[in-house]
Amino acid sequence: MPTALRSPAALGAPAGLDDILRTPSAPVAPPLPVRARGALRFITCGSVDDGKSTLIGRLLHEAQGVLDDQLAAITRESRRFGTTGEDVDLALLLDGLEAEREQGITIDVAYRFFSTGRRAFVVADTPGHEQYTRNMATGASTSELAVLLVDARKGLLEQTRRHAAIVSLLGIRNVVLAVNKMDLVGWSQARFDELVAAFGAFAGPLDFRSVTTIPLSARFGDNVVEASPNTPWHVGPTLLEHLEAVEIADDSAAPFRFPVQWVSRPHADFRGAAGTVASGRVAVGDAVVVAASGRTTKIARIVTMDADVEVASAGDAVTLTFADEIDIGRGDVLAAPRARPTVTRRFAADLVWMTDEEVEAGRRFLMKVGTATLPATVTRIADRLDLAWLGRVPADRLALNAIGRVHVETAVPVSIDPYGENRATGGFILIDRATHATSAAGLVIAGLDGARDVHAQAGAVDPAVRAWVKTQQPLAVWLTGLPGSGKSTIAALAERRLVALGHHTMLLDGDNVRQGLNADLGFDAASRAENVRRVGEVAKLMTDAGLIVLVALVSPFRADRERAAGLFPAGRFMEVLVDASPETCRARDPKGLYAKAESGRIVNFTGRDQAYEPPTAPALVLATDEIGPEIAAERLVQAILERIRTQPASALAAQL
């Protein structure tokens, strides 16, 4: 029996349009046996009041997908909420919310299942109102075909264009242009041909593989299931005939991707990675790689709730066990070694912006991709899609329902694919850090660091072994503060004390790294961000070597320091504010920099030309207005010793 579903589904060289646009006189392919086709997930979309809910209701009714009691119920509801006079309003089958029925519109995404003798279907009825565009994108993210409705009287509206663009961005390549309400234009072939031509002129850049055009009346059922005598000039298929026969590209050949949901360890003798195969297939004995770390192993078992299986394919929920003990956790992605995803912290993406508050460069979010959730920043807004002509125009912000190209930077490397190549690992959402509301749906275009085909190479000695050899817990200690606050002096004294205690250390001082590694950088905001990025990457490598690394760097911008902190595992980064008033720092002026800045010989000087953003929750504050460098250094050493004692050498040895 048909089942009603409502779900907040998560996001997930072309032929020319003249080659793929099906004209009314095009021949119809003979129907294929049902066994040759899988279930079809499709979406109905378009502008408000174009008849989407009515069309699906008609499909369900004509395909015998409506139970007698359901039909009786909507017959009664039609007297109260209906918009079709004395006729049964089939749209009420989909509009389940009270507000939807009162207003005669769709608000939520409604999912329905039905089947015929030839195929099974899951259809998403999505809202047409602009304010509910996010719900339309939700429905499209899991669909394989789109039925784009157009009111024959109104033609192509802005929301029609917006939905067509979103359908294309979300990777749907098969489209039905359903020209509805043809009965209200006298079944005019000229009007139908006019709208088909207008859509063809608009949709050329949208990369659709096939566009099938059908004139219909959803209210009266013309050309929905049965061919209509009102359109003798239309020799193409009815809507249901097309849905039953259309062939969707097989995605089973996509590379193997397995986002790890969690690590299952019910007892000491079993450890496996649980999740759902996002794309491709994997078999027992296949080699796999943890994309981020580069660790390779082979599949030992594929465990399901019922029994072990030899092969798992896209959509299968399984637990994988491995031939070797490998470090793996939630958010990691397993892949085929010869077809790996891109692992990067910087990438370009298209965003569908979903909130009233506009987004500008520098805005920070939580990003959810696959099973991973991590901090991310929109670092640049490159352009915005103009829906009138599908061209891109320069933009520095995105408003509600805008579609734009942006650059995103994540706190730690993330495993992704271009959305056009793999929807499973190319789609993501951005979440507001304060409200936890979904702010945008994103589609990966490409990595920005040129490292798409450069992958992590696993070594024979991992960081835990190096730390165990040095009998210490590695740690990055990041001292930040105004120029002249005492960072370098305190860090040098603290390092000397740690070495005297037998610890292995390294000091990265801001002035010293600018003598070599960062000699090419200036002092503008972008250069300072790159300065912090490079020092953070070096500090990460040094902690991987088992060292206690002290960084003495002005690093004036909070977001830059947070990105650096994101490089390190939990507990391995310690932010220290060396706090002194601007007046104290000017009075000290140990290198004469404040004097040069006052005379104009130095520009972009923090504390004068550039603002300093102190940490919001530092692990330690050293108020050097009140204490001398020796006392500050001793307090820093004690804080470091306390931090590294939380995981002694014996715990490190247990990791081996």
Which residue among 249, 282, 309 closes a domain? 249
Mark whether 230 and 308 lie in a shared domain.
no
Asked whether residue 50 is domain-assigned, the answer is yes
Structural domain boundaries enclosing 304? 252-335
Asked whether residue 650 is domain-assigned, the answer is yes
**What is the pLDDT, as a whole number, of residue 155?**
92
Mark whether 91 and 16 lie in a shared domain.
yes
486 labelled binding-site residue: yes
Which band of pLDDT confidence, cut at 50, 70 and 90, is reported for residue 449? confident
488 labelled binding-site residue: yes
Which band of pLDDT confidence, cut at 50, 70 and 90, is reported for residue 477? very high
Kindly report whether the global pTM for this prediction surpasses the value 0.75.
no
**What is the pLDDT, as a whole number, of residue 130?**
61
Residue 608 has pLDDT above 80, yes or no: no
- Provide the residue type at 462 as one letter: D
524 labelled binding-site residue: no
**CATH number of the domain that residue 258 is part of:** 2.40.30.10
Mean of per-residue pLDDT scores for the chain: 82
Which residues, 6+ apart, have CB-to-CB distance to 237 below 8 Å?
28, 212, 214, 245
Mark whether 167 and 268 lie in a shared domain.
no
Which residue among 402, 417, 447 closes a domain? 447
Which band of pLDDT confidence, cut at 50, 70 and 90, is reported for residue 196? very high
180 labelled binding-site residue: yes
Which band of pLDDT confidence, cut at 50, 70 and 90, is reported for residue 260? very high
Residue 29 has pLDDT above 60, yes or no: no
Mark whether 118 and 8 lie in a shared domain.
yes
Distance CA 651, CA 641 (A): 16
**What is the pLDDT, as a whole number, of residue 588?**
84
Q: Do the strands 40-46 and 145-151 form a parallel or antiparallel pair, or are they unpaired?
A: parallel
Backbone angles phi, psi at 257, to 5 degrees: -135, 130
**CATH number of the domain that residue 234 is part of:** 3.40.50.300
182 labelled binding-site residue: yes
Asked whether residue 455 is domain-assigned, the answer is no
Nearest CA to 580 among 612, 609, 605, 557? 612
Check the CA dihedral 550-552-558-560 and report its sign: negative
566 labelled binding-site residue: no
Which residue among 249, 271, 303 closes a domain? 249
Asked whether residue 322 is domain-assigned, the answer is yes
Q: Bigger pLDDT: 112 or 183? A: 183
Asked whether residue 453 is domain-assigned, the answer is no
**What is the pLDDT, as a whole number, of residue 169?**
83
Which band of pLDDT confidence, cut at 50, 70 and 90, is reported for residue 648? very low
**SS3 assignment, position 64:** coil
367 labelled binding-site residue: no
Do residues 66 and 72 lie in contact, with contact meaning Cβ atoms separated by under 8 Å?
no
374 labelled binding-site residue: no
**What is the pLDDT, as a whole number, of residue 638?**
96
> Residue by residue, what is the 3-state secondary structure of 525-585?
HHHHHHHHHHHHHHHHHHHHCCCEEEEECCCCCHHHHHHHHCCCCCCCEEEEEEECCHHHH
Mark whether 367 and 487 lie in a shared domain.
no
Mark whether 426 and 550 lie in a shared domain.
no
126 labelled binding-site residue: yes
The stretch 587-616 carries a mean pLDDT of 80
Buried b (16+ CB within 10 A) or exposed e, 15-40: eebeebbbebeeeeeeeeeeeebeeb
47 labelled binding-site residue: yes
In the chain, the number of structural domains is 4
**What is the pLDDT, as a whole number, of residue 185?**
95
Which band of pLDDT confidence, cut at 50, 70 and 90, is reported for residue 54? confident
pLDDT digit string, tens, across residues 90-102: 445 444 433 333 4
127 labelled binding-site residue: yes
Asked whether residue 605 is domain-assigned, the answer is yes
Helix, strand, coil percentages, rounded to 5, for the chain = 30, 30, 40
Distance CA 92, CA 78 (A): 8
Mark whether 472 and 376 lie in a shared domain.
no
Mark whether 504 and 607 lie in a shared domain.
yes
Backbone angles phi, psi at 303, to 5 degrees: -105, 130
Nearest CA to 253 among 314, 182, 185? 314
Q: Bigger pLDDT: 656 or 15? A: 656
108 labelled binding-site residue: no
Distance CA 415, CA 273 (A): 17
**What is the pLDDT, as a whole number, of residue 73?**
52
Asked whether residue 522 is domain-assigned, the answer is yes
Mark whether 318 and 419 lie in a shared domain.
no
Backbone angles phi, psi at 280, to 5 degrees: 75, -160
**What is the pLDDT, as a whole number, of residue 252?**
58
Q: Using CA atoms in the order 638, 640, 645, 649, what is the torsion angle rounded to 10 degrees?
A: -130
Active site residues per annotation: 555
280 labelled binding-site residue: no
Tokens of 283: 């078999």
pLDDT digit string, tens, across residues 622-638: 999 999 999 999 999 99
Mark whether 275 and 241 lie in a shared domain.
no
50 labelled binding-site residue: yes
Asked whether residue 456 is domain-assigned, the answer is no
Q: What percent of the chain has pLDDT over 70?
A: 82
183 labelled binding-site residue: yes
Mark whether 62 and 175 lie in a shared domain.
yes
Mark whether 479 and 383 lie in a shared domain.
no
**What is the pLDDT, as a whole number, of residue 585?**
86
